[in-house]
Structure 1
């Protein structure tokens, strides 16, 4: 025989489940808003004190609301957002007022139970949130108060105050420790993420170094062995191959010196001296040997140029010549490096790289062209305290000027 439905039991179950969910929501709301819980506790104790004070004390009914409000006043102070020590002070003051209220002969302490509990609660809150001096003051004063006014059987509550304070301090220490651990874990996680990014960038840079070094090595090998592999080369062609080999070797050495430091720890890194102002003639000669129509005049003594400034000028000239050969093939290039005098002494150097209009329809060089050459030159010059300008000339050419100070200042390679 099939069972009949039991609507009454189903209704009771749903009601209990809804009540349970309501209690859970209420508890979560109280935890999220502790001031609401304090106000609710104050209201509850107000009602209890008002209705039970006559059981322990002989007072007229007209004073019951006053005494009840005096009892819950510390909770109101806490709910108003005041400091814990202020609530404790209000509770102690109320305790002193209760001493003059006549109590029943069989009641062992001068306060009702509700006020006693509120006083202990304020001491616990001071231990949880007060300063060290406030915690010590609340502990000593409350313990002395219990020893003086309570009956002999309740005087051990002075030790109970110390136990309550110790418990509050333990909880406080645990909360602070967990917060500190959480903060350290967050900082460690951020550091791990930053380190992962740095390691990934280093890995990419190492791979770039390996790829560039491999291909540059192949260029060197091909240029070096071409005279033996290809018969019938003219002396001019052999000279061109020798120039290619020399330029590729120099480029490979610079790549290794710059990116070689990205090798794994413990791996030896080959280093080389950074270029200086004294290396400009060799750079100009190699560019001319590569077929560039190039003239120059160098009027600055390399001995008067700091290493960082010399490196910046070398890189600027190197990039400017590369741009000229790439974007203006067949044009003539004029390089001048002149001192800028101030008070009969050279204080700065002015580098000018001017390119004539290209006979071909080459694309003009601009900073908006998508490359990083001119921004990189500007960064290097500004790093040593100089100024760089670059732009087309009215005749259709292009000119790069860099003025850098010659006083010794920290910079690239310095």
Structure 2
């Protein structure tokens, strides 16, 4: 060992360094991932290399016995980072490769400045960097490794190491490109699986649409035909009855149109817009008039200046009113209904209030009983556009539905 160094560390110091090295190895193993076979393999190889480097250091360099475990660990332990941080591991190994020849003399008969184990660790880390790191980092690490071997390799061995390091880096890059190709192939296969799943869903939606058409659309069409032809088929039809048939036919046609729209959605693949527009705020007067024709006493109140709303908000307003009016007619027959649209600054309040029905409960069936989901559906529609929804019985035996929606 070179002169001018301080006193040799004590045996206690050596034991402390050994304990720290073991703890560092165990900690690195835990960080790399407990229970993984590749991690177990890296730790096992590191320990084997360390077991080789420590006793053979005394035949390659002039190192005091107390420093041998530390110097050997400095050369070998960077291999623990080969799976997670190979560039950092290579930097530590390269720093050790620079310091060892400067601090410690080689023994006679040994020409290389590093142990064979140290060289193997640097080569493994260079290969890992070529496979895992960015191309610019690969270029820096490759160039630095070549310069390091040119500077320290004995005789003309530097040229041979240059060829070998180039071949090793090229092999790592080929493995890297192979892994990238396999990853891209896996992604393409995943996309194909998703496309097959989407086609299966579309086929199922088409089947449902076909069944709905056979079950619902046919019968609704028959209702429309019967309602329109009843005044001509039945004798002595009064004007009031004729108006009822006209109202029934108009409601059935509207329901049939909405069923056809839903069937179009089920048959579509989700990538093309539907040609049938959804109802919006501009069709609310038609909805109220349709309820009046059906015998519901609807009183409309508009507060403030109506403003333009988005399609989503308009559809939500229409569906909430549609469901509320249907609930009023079903659960409170004969009761007056007040529809109130209050326009404010950036919001619109939609409320439907019905009185107590004649001989029927005014409170709608709760959503969790008898399959009813009207209130829940209205609440979800209001929440989907950023609004609030509330529904509750009134003290006079009626029921109130209120939604506050953004008007912009």
**What TM-score comes out, normalization by structure 1 length?**
0.68
* 1:284 corresponds to: 288
**Corresponding position: 1:392 with 2:406:** no
* 2:122 corresponds to: 122
Question: Of residues 215, 218, 224 in structure 2, which corresponds to 1:220?
Answer: 224
Q: Decide which structure has the larger Cα Rg and report it.
A: 1
* 1:89 corresponds to: 95
Q: How does 1:14-413 map to 2 (within 5 A)?
A: 32-47=40-55, 53=59, 70=71, 73-79=74-80, 83-95=89-101, 100-104=105-109, 110-111=111-112, 115-116=115-116, 118-129=118-129, 131-132=137-138, 133-146=140-153, 149-150=154-155, 152=156, 156-175=160-179, 177-178=181-182, 181-182=185-186, 184=187, 188=191, 191-192=194-195, 195=198, 199=202, 202-203=205-206, 206-207=209-210, 210=213, 211-229=215-233, 235-264=239-268, 270-272=275-277, 274-277=279-282, 279-280=284-285, 282-292=286-296, 294-299=297-302, 304-306=307-309, 308=311, 310-329=314-333, 331-337=334-340, 339=342, 349-362=348-361, 364-365=363-364, 367-370=366-369, 371-382=372-383, 386-404=387-405, 407=407, 409=408
Please tell me whether the aligned partners of residues 366 and 391 of structure 1 are also in contact (alpha carbons under 8 angstroms).
no
User: What is the RMSD computed on CA atoms of the aligned residues?
Assistant: 4.3
1:159 is displaced (CA, Å) by 2.6
Change (3 A) 1:271 1:171: closer
- Segments of 5+ residues of structure 1 without an aligned counterpart are 1-27, 410-414
1:351 is displaced (CA, Å) by 4.2
- Encode CA deviations 1:20-72: one digit per residue, 9 max, x unaligned: xxxxxxxx96774311122113313545565xx4xxx8x99x96897798567
1:93 is displaced (CA, Å) by 3.4
- Secondary structure of the structure 2 residue equivalent to 1:400: strand
Cα distance in structure 1, aligned partners of 2:70 and 2:384: 72
- Secondary structure of the structure 2 residue equivalent to 1:335: strand
1:141 is displaced (CA, Å) by 1.5
Change (3 A) 1:252 1:267: farther
Please tell me whether the aligned partners of residues 30 and 37 of structure 1 are also in contact (alpha carbons under 8 angstroms).
no
Cα distance in structure 2, aligned partners of 1:339 and 1:80: 67
- Secondary structure of the structure 2 residue equivalent to 1:298: strand
Change (3 A) 1:402 1:169: closer
Please tell me whether the aligned partners of residues 389 and 400 of structure 1 are also in contact (alpha carbons under 8 angstroms).
yes
Cα distance in structure 1, aligned partners of 2:38 and 2:319: 68
- Encode CA deviations 1:115-151: one digit per residue, 9 max, x unaligned: 24531441332232363323321122213422xx22x
Cα distance in structure 2, aligned partners of 1:248 and 1:197: 33
Please tell me whether the aligned partners of residues 392 and 399 of structure 2 are also in contact (alpha carbons under 8 angstroms).
yes
Mean Cα deviation higher: 267-276 or 161-170: 267-276
* 1:6 corresponds to: none
Change (3 A) 1:267 1:383: closer
1:286 is displaced (CA, Å) by 2.7
* 2:7 corresponds to: none
Change (3 A) 1:267 1:217: farther
Change (3 A) 1:307 1:41: closer
- Encode CA deviations 1:183-242: one digit per residue, 9 max, x unaligned: x35853774487367536744663465243333222212323344555565554443322
- Segments of 5+ residues of structure 2 without an aligned counterpart are 1-35, 83-87
Change (3 A) 1:337 1:164: closer
* 1:9 corresponds to: none
**What number of residue pairs does the alignment pair up?**
356
- Secondary structure of the structure 1 residue equivalent to 2:397: coil
Change (3 A) 1:337 1:362: closer
